[in-house]
Amino acid sequence: MRTEMRLTGSGGQGLILAGIIFAEAALLDGNNSLQSQSYGPEARGGASKAEVIISKEEIDFPKVQVPNVLLSLTQVACDKYSSEIADDGIFIIDETVNVEDVKASVKLYRVPILKTAVEEVGKSIVANIVAIGFITELTGLVSKENVEAAILNRIPKGTEELNKKALEHGYKLALAVK
């Protein structure tokens, strides 16, 4: 009943915001959640990670140990953070990323997240929202209703339509692989 998610990529890709949105959506769904980012020597290399824990119960141990859901939007982040994933975990990488040696029990999805943000939505900056849509539709970890509410709480006014479009393209990408 505890799900751990790690979102990785480069510094400017909005993954902290994605983590905050998942954590708020989980709260609205009636769950407990915790969102964190840690900065240490490894954060100086251009890779960024944000973590979310979602649980029906109170979250006693606030650290992601072995993520059930892992996202890597860049090769650098993937190389740095993909060694830890649950045996039955879900591993989502951008189509520009290559991985080797993924455990056979892990479900791997290689998805055009960055390309969809640029070519279908028109802004690379919404890749994080495309990723949220993909993960939400694929996993059902948070409800669509509340992920939409959490996004509206957190994005700049005037960007509602852009973000809604990004989210729906994320849903579509997941429907295509489900």
The residues binding a copy of itself (CB under 8 A) are 16, 20, 23-24, 26-27, 32-41, 43-44, 58-59, 62-63, 156
Which residue, among 68, 19, 70, 72, has the nearest Cα to 47 in the 3D structure? 72
Closer to a copy of itself by CB, 24 or 148: give it.
24
Closer to a copy of itself by CB, 96 or 159: give it. Answer: 159
Least Å distance, CB 100 to a copy of itself, is 29
Q: How far is the CB of 143 from a copy of itself (least distance, A)?
A: 15
Tell me how far, at minimum, the Cβ of 24 lies from a copy of itself, in Å.
7
Q: Please state the closest distance from residue 20 (CB atom) to a copy of itself, in A.
A: 6
CB 125 within 8 A of CB 117: yes
Residue pair 93/78 in contact by the 8 Å Cβ criterion: yes
Is the four-CA dihedral 155, 158, 161, 165 of positive or negative sign? negative
Backbone torsions φ then ψ of 73, nearest 5 degrees: -90, -15
Q: Between residues 7 and 111, which has the closer beta carbon with respect to a copy of itself?
A: 7
Closest to a copy of itself by CB, 40 or 140 = 40
Half-sphere exposure of 117 (CA within 13 A, CB side): 21
In whole angstroms, what is the distance from residue 40 CA to residue 158 CA? 35
CA torsion sign for 143, 20, 61, 30 is negative
Residue nearer to a copy of itself on the CB measure, 41 or 140: 41
In angstroms, give the least distance from the CB of 141 to a copy of itself.
14
Residue with tokens 């141990």: 61
